[in-house]
Structure 1
Amino acid sequence: MAVWALGINHHTAPLDLRGRFAFALDQIEPTLQGLRASLGQAGKAHSAVETAILSTCNRTEIYCAADAPAMDHTMHWLANSGGVAPDLLRQHSYVLQDGLVARHAFRVASGLDSMVLGEAQILGQMKNAVRAAETAGALGTTLNQLFQRSFAVAKEVRSSTEIGAHSISMAAAAVRLAGQLFEDLGQIKVLFVGAGEMIELVSTHFAAKNPKQITIANRTVERGEKLAAQFGASTMRLADLPEHLHEYDAIISCTASTLPIIGLGAVESALKKRKRRPMFMVDLAVPRDIEAQVKDLKDVYLYTVDDLATVVRTGQAQRQAAVQQAEVIIDTGVQSFMQWMDQRNPVGGAVSLIQQVNAQADEWRALEIARAKKLIAKGEDIDTVLEALSRGLTQKMLHGTMAELNKGDADERAQTANAVSRLFLRSTRNANKL
C-alpha cells in the first residue's frame, strides 16, 4: 500500500493561485468522486483508491492511498480542476509519499505548518475534511488510520507542550490593525460579510471592543440573524451591500463565493459618499471576496490573509522550544504509523524502510541547503555557511541515534550500542581487524 499527498499552501503559492484550488465544504464530496474516477483510469492498482481533500484559506491538500502511487496523475487532475498548466502547479506545490505524508499531516494537525503557529482551528478543519471523505465513501482503512493518528498526535502536542502560548490569531490581528488606524474602536461601525466560523471568530474579537454598530451581511438571512443575535447586531441582505457600504468604517469579509462580491466601483462610490474618510477592509476569503484593485485606492486600507502574516508571527520566538518538543512527539507518531503500514505489508517492509530513510535524508538535505542559500544571500562568509550546513546535517542525522542510546535499561542500551557501532563505526571496526 502506498500513501501520497499533493498540496499547495501559504508557504509555496501566492493567494490568487491558492484561490483557484479552494473547495467549499459542500463541494468536497462531488470533487472526491471526480478525483477517484480520474485516478481509477491510472490503472488497476487505483480501482479502489482512498482519497481526502483538506481545503482552507491557507492550503489545499489531496491525500491518497492505493496499491501503487499515482502522483503525476494526481498533479494533472488538480491542475485541470484549477484551470492552470501542470508545470505551473508543480512549481508551487509539494508532493510527499509514505512517511513524509504522515509527518506532514501530523505537523498540520498540530498547528506547526500554520500561518499562526500553534493555532487550533486547523484541527477542526481536518476533522471536517475526514467527515466529508467518509460521507463520500472515499476514506478507507489506511487514510482513516493516518488521520486518526494525526488527531492523537495533535492532542498530545497541545497537552504536552506550550505550542499555543503567545499565539496571535487572524481575528486578533485584524482587531490590532484596525486599532492602528482608528483611535477609538468604540466609535466605529463594523460590517461583517459572511456568517461562517472565521467571521464568528473575528466578530467576537471586535465585539469585545464595543464598536458603535455591528452589522452582519450574509446570503442566508437566517444564519446571519443567528450570528447577529450573539452580539446584538443588525443584519443586512447581501444584495443591499453596495448602497450601504459607505456607512461602515471597517468591513471584514469571508464567504465561500468563487467571485469577488465587493468590487472596485462599489468601494469608489462608498469613498465619495464618505468624503474620503478612510475605510479599513480585511478580506479573509480564498478566493478573494474584495477585488484586488481596491488596495490601490488612496483612502482604503485593505488586508488579505497573507498581509496578516507579519502580525500573526509575533510571539513565535517564544514558542520555538515548544516546536522542538512537538517535533519529537511527531517523530514517534511517524515511526508508529510506518510500523503499522509495514505490518500490513510485511514483504515490502524492508523496501519501504529504505524509501523512508532516503526520503528523510533528502528532506534534511533540502532544509539545510535552503538555510545555506539564505545565509549566502545575506552575505555570510562561505566557510561559515558550509560549517553551519555540515553541522546541521550531522545533528539531524545523529539526533535519533543519540536519543536511542540513552533510552531503556542496560541490556537495551547495549543492544542499541552494538547496532549503532555496526552502522556508524564500520571503518573503525575493519581497521581494528587489520
Structure 2
Amino acid sequence: MSVWALGINHTTAPLDLRGRFAFALDQIEPTLKGLRSSLARQPEATLLSTCNRTEIYCAGDRSDLGHTIEWLAQHGGVSPALLRSHAYTLENDHAARHAFRVASGLDSMVLGEPQILGQMKDAVRAAEDAGAMGTTLHQLFQRSFAVAKEVRTSTEIGAHSISLAAASVRLAGQLFEDLSDIKVLFVGAGEMIDLAATHFAAKNPKAMTVANRTLERGEKLAGRFGAEVMRLADLPSRLHEFDAVISCTASTLPIIGLGAVERAVKLRKHRPMFMVDLAVPRDIEPEVKDLPDIYLYTVDDLAHVVQTGKDNRQAAVAQAEVIIDAGVQNFMHWLDQRRSVPLIQQLNAQTDEWRALEIARAKKLLAKGESVDDVLEALSRGLTQKMLHGALAELHAGNAENREATAQTVSRLFLRGNLPKEQKER
C-alpha cells in the first residue's frame, strides 16, 4: 500500500493550463467515480481543485500513477507529455508532507491563507460521498487538519498575510484616487467574491452590485452589504456603469468577452476600468488586457502583491515545518503498522478456525460422556499442537543457518520471559 499524489499548482503550471484541470465542487464526485472505474484496483482517491492547484491523492498501487496521468491529460484535452512537464508526483512521506503543508497554508500563493483548509475539507466530503475514501486517506487528511490547526494556534503563520481579495482592493487604490467615488461590480456569489465584497465594502464605495446566474443567491450576498443585485444576462448592457469589476465564477468558459468590454470602454468615454479575474478557468477573455484604459489582473498577476509581509512570516514557517515533520513521522509510523494488518487478519482467521475445530471436538466428547477434565485437557493440547506445529516443523527443516535464524525467531515469539542471556543481548 502506497500513498501518492499527482498535481499541478501555481508554481508549476500557467493559469490557462490550470484552467483545463479546474473542477467545481459538484464535479468532484462524478470525476472521482470516473477515475476509479478506469483503474482495475479501485484505489482510495481524493481530488482537490482550487484556483491555484489541482491535486489527486490516492492510496493504492503506485503503478496506477501512470494511468492516472494519462486519464487526467485526456480529461483536460492535453498530451500526457505536456501534463508531465508541469506536474509533480509525490509518494508516501513526501506525499504526506505535501498534504500537511497545503492544509497549513505553506504551499499557497498567499502564505498562511486559511481558505485552503476549508477547501480541503470540502474535497474530503466529496470523496466520501463518492465512496472513494478509505482508512488510509481518512487518516492522512484527518492528520492534515490536526497539523494545520496546531500550526495556526502555535505559530504566527497567518500574521501579516494579504489575501487575493485584499490585494484587489490595494491595486484598485493605486488606480483610483478615492475608492469611495467608484462603483464596483462583483460577478459571482461564492466564497472568493464574498471576501472581495467584504474588503471593498470597508472602503465605502459609491455603489456595489452583485451579478449572479442564480438571482436568489446573488440577493443573499448583496443583502449583507446593502448592494444591488442583477442578473448575469444583463451584464453586457450594464458593464459600462462600473469602475471596478471583480469576477469569480465556476463557469468553464469566459463570461465577459472582448466585445462587451470594448463597448463599455466607448460608453465610458475612456474613463479607466479596473478588472480582476479571480476565476480558474478565466471569467474574462485574456485579450481584454490589451484594450486601452483597461487594467485587468488575474490570480497570477496578484502574486507579487500578496508577497508583502512574507519575510515577516519566515520564522513562523520554520516553526510550522517542525510541527509538520512530527506529523509526517507519526503518519508514516501508522502506515507502516497498517502493512501488517493483512497478516494479522490471516493469523486471527487461522486461530479462529483452530479454536472452532477444537470446541466442536470437545462438545462431541462431552456428549459421549467424557469427563470435563479430560475434555479440557484434550482441547488445550489440540490448540497448542496446532499453534506450534508450523514452528516445530521449521526448526527441523532446512540447513543449520536457517534453523538458527528460526530458533531465534521462535524464541522471541514464544519464550519472551525465558530467553537465554546471549539472545536477550542481541
Whole-angstrom distance in 2 between the partners of 1:60 and 1:159:
27
Q: Which amino acid is 1:16 matched to?
A: D
Of 60, 65, 69, which aligns to 1:71?
A: 65
* Corresponding residue number in structure 2 for 1:38: 38
Whole-angstrom distance in 1 between the partners of 2:105 and 2:61:
30
* Corresponding residue number in structure 1 for 2:19: 19
Whole-angstrom distance in 1 between the partners of 2:46 and 2:144:
14
1:214, 1:233 within 8 Å by CA — same for their partners in 2?
yes
Whole-angstrom distance in 2 between the partners of 1:48 and 1:23:
21
Kindly tell me the number of residue pairs found equivalent between the two proteins.
343
* Corresponding residue number in structure 2 for 1:358: none
Of 214, 224, 234, which aligns to 2:228?
A: 234
1:319 is aligned to 2:313: yes
1:126 is aligned to 2:141: no
CA deviation vs aligned residue, 1:317-374 (integer Å, no higher than 9, x gap) = 01101000100110000000000000011499xxxxxxxxxxxxxxxxxxxxxxxxxx
Q: Which amino acid is 2:278 matched to?
A: L
* Gap runs ≥5 in structure 2: 343-426
1:105 is aligned to 2:109: no
Whole-angstrom distance in 2 between the partners of 1:205 and 1:68:
44
Q: Which amino acid is 1:175 matched to?
A: V
Whole-angstrom distance in 2 between the partners of 1:66 and 1:187:
57
Select between 66-75 and 168-177 the one with higher mean Cα deviation: 66-75
Whole-angstrom distance in 2 between the partners of 1:186 and 1:170:
20
1:52, 1:64 within 8 Å by CA — same for their partners in 2?
yes
1:213, 1:233 within 8 Å by CA — same for their partners in 2?
yes
Larger radius of gyration: 2
* Corresponding residue number in structure 2 for 1:252: 246
> Offset of 1:112 from its aligned partner?
0.2
Describe how 1:127-146 pairs up with structure 2 within 5 A: 127-146=121-140
Q: Specify whether residues 332 and 69 from structure 1 end up closer, same or farther in structure 2 by C-alpha distance, changes over 3 A only.
A: farther
Q: Which amino acid is 2:312 matched to?
A: Q
Describe how 1:55-70 pairs up with structure 2 within 5 A: 55-70=49-64
Of 153, 164, 174, which aligns to 2:158?
A: 164
CA deviation vs aligned residue, 1:351-403 (integer Å, no higher than 9, x gap) = xxxxxxxxxxxxxxxxxxxxxxxxxxxxxxxxxxxxxxxxxxxxxxxxxxxxx
SS in 2 for 1:259: coil
SS in 2 for 1:19: helix
CA deviation vs aligned residue, 1:26-48 (integer Å, no higher than 9, x gap) = 101100000001122xxxxxx23
* Corresponding residue number in structure 1 for 2:149: 155
Whole-angstrom distance in 2 between the partners of 1:73 and 1:327:
32
Whole-angstrom distance in 2 between the partners of 1:197 and 1:68:
35
Q: Which amino acid is 1:320 matched to?
A: Q
* Corresponding residue number in structure 1 for 2:81: 87
Of 206, 213, 225, which aligns to 1:212?
A: 206
Task: Provide the TM-score with structure 2 as the length reference.
Answer: 0.79
1:10, 1:306 within 8 Å by CA — same for their partners in 2?
yes
Q: Which amino acid is 2:28 matched to?
A: I
* Corresponding residue number in structure 2 for 1:28: 28
Whole-angstrom distance in 2 between the partners of 1:241 and 1:68:
48
* Corresponding residue number in structure 1 for 2:260: 266
Task: Provide the TM-score with structure 1 as the length reference.
Answer: 0.78
1:189 is aligned to 2:183: yes
CA deviation vs aligned residue, 1:264-322 (integer Å, no higher than 9, x gap) = 00000000000000000000000000000000011100000000000001000011010
1:53, 1:63 within 8 Å by CA — same for their partners in 2?
yes
2:15, 2:280 within 8 Å by CA — same for their partners in 1?
yes
Whole-angstrom distance in 1 between the partners of 2:219 and 2:170:
26
1:279, 1:301 within 8 Å by CA — same for their partners in 2?
yes
Q: Which amino acid is 1:99 matched to?
A: D
1:49 is aligned to 2:52: no
1:29, 1:132 within 8 Å by CA — same for their partners in 2?
yes
> Offset of 1:69 from its aligned partner?
4.0
Whole-angstrom distance in 1 between the partners of 2:171 and 2:338:
52
* Corresponding residue number in structure 1 for 2:353: none
SS in 2 for 1:271: helix
1:2, 1:69 within 8 Å by CA — same for their partners in 2?
no
* Gap runs ≥5 in structure 1: 41-46, 349-434
Whole-angstrom distance in 2 between the partners of 1:319 and 1:193:
33
Whole-angstrom distance in 2 between the partners of 1:48 and 1:253:
38
SS in 2 for 1:39: coil
Whole-angstrom distance in 1 between the partners of 2:142 and 2:63:
22
Whole-angstrom distance in 1 between the partners of 2:241 and 2:181:
13
Deviating above 3 A after TM superposition, structure 1's stretches of 4 or more consecutive aligned residues are none
Q: Which amino acid is 1:95 matched to?
A: T
> Offset of 1:74 from its aligned partner?
1.0
1:3, 1:69 within 8 Å by CA — same for their partners in 2?
no
Q: CA RMSD of the aligned region, Å?
A: 1.2
CA deviation vs aligned residue, 1:4-25 (integer Å, no higher than 9, x gap) = 1100000000000000000000
Q: Which amino acid is 1:27 matched to?
A: Q
SS in 2 for 1:114: coil
Whole-angstrom distance in 1 between the partners of 2:72 and 2:202:
41
* Corresponding residue number in structure 2 for 1:6: 6
1:4, 1:69 within 8 Å by CA — same for their partners in 2?
no
SS in 1 for 2:39: helix
1:54, 1:62 within 8 Å by CA — same for their partners in 2?
yes
Whole-angstrom distance in 2 between the partners of 1:22 and 1:37:
20
2:4, 2:62 within 8 Å by CA — same for their partners in 1?
no
Q: Which amino acid is 1:17 matched to?
A: L
SS in 2 for 1:29: helix
1:32, 1:52 within 8 Å by CA — same for their partners in 2?
yes
SS in 2 for 1:90: helix
